[in-house]
Amino acid sequence: MSLEITFLGTGSAFPSPARGASALVLRREGQCWLFDCGEGTQTQLMRSHLRAARITKIFITHLHGDHIFGLPGLLCTLSLQTDPDASKAPVDIYGPLGLRSFLWRSLELSHSQLLFPYTVHELVPTRDQCPPEEFKDFSGWDRDEALPQGPPGRVLHLDPGEDSYLLVEDEQLVVRAFRLFHRVPSFGFVLEEKPRPGKLNVQKLKDLG
């Protein structure tokens, strides 16, 4: 399994002509996984050797603007480059509770219609992830509203035994989120490669004693 990381933006809060807001891409076997999507991410993608159309998963660490303001625009640009395909696998988006509402409202208010499916998997934070006065409970948002076009997705709760959230698991790796302390609830992501059985040349070991 080969992994390649490309930093698209390493700025903090204030983008500049030479340094974009937070975003990086992990390329894995032809797929691109995007971590955070600050303002200008799609422009940085165009300057890179990466193909935005290969993005299959997006991970958002927290809901500060310099980590999410580029997301609605990026999705719209991807849609302009996409042919409608009902069989296309959805783009999976992972992030804190409230991300689904932010995306749905941004796209709805701007009359944006995506030509590809996407799902939003929300991580439910705990109150000790930020100062008490900064914690906002988004669990009741949109509860009484009909969201006929709202994206589907899971609501993920902390696994007390693992002290983390299981996001992705396949034959090669496991992706988990863990809690970080910040001014708002934040998450870090860990990609753990599964053990791979090695090959043992028994005869050569015997020959070497």
pLDDT digits (tens, 9 = 90+) for 4-18: 999 999 987 877 888
Report the CATH number that the domain containing residue 65 is assigned in CATH. 3.60.15.10
- 89 confidence band (pLDDT: 50, 70, 90): confident
- 135 confidence band (pLDDT: 50, 70, 90): very high
Cβ 169 vs Cβ 175: under 8 Å: yes
Please state, rounded to an integer, the average pLDDT across all residues of the chain. 90
Q: Which residue has the higher pLDDT, 127 or 139?
A: 127
Phi/psi for 60 (5° steps) reads -110, 125
Residues 6+ apart with CB under 8 A from 51: 32
For residue 142, what pLDDT is reported?
67
Work out how many domains the chain is built from and give that number: 1
For residue 144, pLDDT over 80 is answered with no
Least confident of 1-15, 55-69, 120-134, 178-192: 1-15
For residue 197, what pLDDT is reported?
81
Q: Is 170 a catalytic residue?
A: no
- Alpha carbon distance 27, 100 (integer Å): 25
- The residue segments making up the domain with residue 161 are 3-207
Angle made by CA atoms 70, 102, 31, in degrees to the nearest 5:
50
Which of 66, 92, 137, 159 is an active site residue? Answer: 66
For residue 86, what pLDDT is reported?
62
